[in-house]
Amino acid sequence: MADYKTIHGTLIRDYTTNPDNPIEGQVWYNETDKVLKFQFPNVTTAGTWRTGNNVNLARRDLGGTGIQTAALIWGGYVAGPTVKNETESYNGTSWTEVNNLGTARNGIWGAGPYTSAIFAGGDENAAGSASAKSEEWNGTSWTETADLNTARYSLGGAGTNAEAALCFGGTASPKAQTENWNGSSWTEVADLNTGRHAVTGFGTETAALATSGDGDTPRGLVETWNGTSWSETTDLTTGRANLASCGTVPAGMIFGGPVPGGGKTELWNGSAWTETTDFSTAREVSNNGAGTTNSSALASAGFASTYSAATEEFTGAGADIGAWATGTAMNNARKDGAGAGSYPAGLAISGDSATGQIANVESWDGSTWTEVGDVNTSRDAFAASGTYTSALATGGNNPPITNNESWNGSAWTEVADLNTGRRGLRGAGADNTSAIVFGGFPPNVVDTESWNGTSWTEVNNLNTGRQNAGSAGTKTAALAFGGLIVGPPVVPTAVTETWNGTSWTEVSDLNTGRDHLGSGGTQSGALAFGGEAPSTTAATEDWNGATWSEVADLNTAQSKLNTSFAGSNTAAISAGGNPGGNDTAAVEEWSGSSTTIKVLTD
CA–CA distances in Å: residue 519 to residues 338, 362, 533, 566: 10, 18, 15, 7
pLDDT at 8 over 80: no
Q: How many CA atoms lie within 13 A of 128 on its CB side?
A: 1
Q: Are 427 and 408 in contact (CB under 8 A)?
A: no
Query: Are both 52-315 and 325-593 of the same fold?
Result: yes
DSSP letter at 467 equals B
pLDDT at 215 over 60: no
Q: Are 174 and 191 in contact (CB under 8 A)?
A: yes
* Residue 261 backbone phi and psi in degrees, to 5: 95, -5
Dist. CA 435–CA 429, nearest whole Å = 4
- pLDDT for residue 22: 81
| pLDDT digit string, tens, across residues 524-535 | 999 999 999 999
Q: What is the mean pLDDT of residues 189-199?
A: 95
- pLDDT for residue 7: 62
Burial class (CB in 10 A: 0-12, 13-18, 19+), 5: exposed
Q: Are 379 and 396 in contact (CB under 8 A)?
A: yes
**Confidence category of residue 11, pLDDT binned at 50, 70, 90:** confident
Asked if omega into 250 is within 30° of 0 (cis), the reply is no
Domain range annotation of the chain: 4-40, 52-315, 325-593
Task: Note the pTM of the prediction, 2 decimals.
Answer: 0.88
Superfamily of domain 325-593: Kelch-type beta propeller (2.120.10.80)
- Residues pairing with 422 in the sheet: none
SS3 359: coil
* Residue 4 backbone phi and psi in degrees, to 5: -60, -45
| pLDDT digit string, tens, across residues 406-448 | 999 999 999 999 999 999 999 999 999 999 999 999 999 999 9
pLDDT at 3 over 80: no
CATH for 52-315?
A: 2.120.10.80
CA–CA distances in Å: residue 434 to residues 13, 40, 391, 449, 476: 52, 42, 9, 11, 9
212: left (phi over 0), alpha (psi -120 to 50) or beta: left
| pLDDT digit string, tens, across residues 116-155 | 999 999 999 999 999 999 999 999 999 999 999 999 999 9
SS3 346: strand
Q: Which of 552, 556, 510, 558 is nearest to 535 (CA)?
A: 558
Dist. CA 272–CA 260, nearest whole Å = 24
Q: Who wins on pLDDT, 90 or 601?
A: 90
